[in-house]
């Protein structure tokens, strides 16, 4: 109370959004990028690996040699796919920034006006794997058990760089070693309104693109209030 008789008016509290309303210069319209991790839920522990090799594949002995056989077949299939469709295969070197290497291939695919695989990258990276332990059964029949190893081994990875006419660039990363984990990346350029790179340009900045932004209509000030 002021002077003992007149109440003092109190200012209403404002939220951050209310304070910034009308002063925001940039408006983000989409996600920066989306990552998806793919894996086989039934191949995450040793017992599942044994069941997969015996019950699903029909092998009498769950041997680590089966993993190598499957990996070799997969790598050959990727090579055959690339050869049949005349898709460039690029081996990444240590220290390469992958999108800097693949940008021109994405731009070339976009220039065709068709969706497709722009190029396939090959890299050698580390991956946690299953370790096999050989055991002897009665009669001298070998048997293997599998556990997730803490150690890491160097494996081949395939990077499929894609261009879609509606959603722009994306990449699919697949480990060429059992049980073949997958990572999918779609960037901020995705969406029916994605800009197509000009022929001869370095291509879109997948998968490290920054989110697009626009100036909100009627906005004259930045978030800090300056002109």
pLDDT digits (tens, 9 = 90+) for 120-148: 999 988 877 787 888 776 677 777 888 87
User: What Rg value do the Cα atoms of the chain yield, rounded?
Assistant: 27
Is 11 part of a structural domain of the chain?
A: no
- Residue span of the structural domain in which 138 resides: 29-209
> Residues in the chain with pLDDT < 50?
1, 190-194, 196-227
CA distance 46 to 172: 27
Q: Please give the tally of structural domains in the chain.
A: 1
Token pair belonging to 186: 């779609």
Alpha helices in the chain (DSSP H): 16-20, 46-51, 64-85, 98-111
CA distance 212 to 28: 6
DSSP letters along 126-149, please? EEEEEEEEEEE-GGG-EEEEEEEE
pTM: 0.67
pLDDT digits (tens, 9 = 90+) for 35-62: 889 988 888 888 899 899 999 999 988 8
Is 106 part of a structural domain of the chain?
A: yes
Is 224 part of a structural domain of the chain?
A: no
Is 219 part of a structural domain of the chain?
A: no
- Buried (b) or exposed (e) across 136-148, using 16+ Cβ within 10 A? eeeeeeeebebee
- Nearest in space to 180 (alpha carbons), one of 37, 80, 39: 39
Contact 211, 188 (CB under 8 A): yes
Is 126 part of a structural domain of the chain?
A: yes
């Amino acid at each position: 109370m002021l002077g003992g008789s007149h109440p003092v008016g109190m200012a209403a509290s404002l939220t951050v959004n209310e304070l910034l309303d009308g002063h925001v210069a940039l408006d983000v319209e989409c996600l920066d990028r989306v990552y998806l991790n793919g894996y086989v839920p039934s191949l995450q522990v040793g017992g599942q690996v044994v069941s997969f090799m015996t019950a699903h594949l029909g092998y009498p002995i769950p041997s680590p040699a089966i993993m190598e056989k499957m990996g070799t077949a997969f790598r050959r299939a990727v090579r055959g796919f690339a050869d049949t469709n005349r898709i460039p295969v690029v081996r990444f070197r240590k220290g390469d920034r992958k999108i800097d290497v693949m940008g021109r291939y994405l731009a070339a695919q976009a220039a065709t006006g068709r969706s497709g695989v722009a190029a396939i990258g090959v890299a050698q990276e580390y991956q946690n794997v299953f370790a096999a332990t050989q055991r002897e059964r009665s009669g001298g029949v070998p048997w293997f058990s599998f556990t997730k190893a803490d150690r890491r081994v160097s494996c081949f990875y395939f990077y499929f760089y894609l261009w879609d006419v509606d959603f722009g660039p994306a990449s699919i990363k697949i480990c060429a070693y059992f049980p073949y984990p997958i990572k999918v990346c779609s960037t901020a350029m995705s969406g029916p309104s994605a800009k197509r790179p000009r022929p001869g340009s370095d291509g879109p900045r997948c998968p490290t693109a920054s989110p697009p932004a626009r100036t909100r209509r009627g906005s004259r000030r930045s978030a800090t209030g300056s002109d």
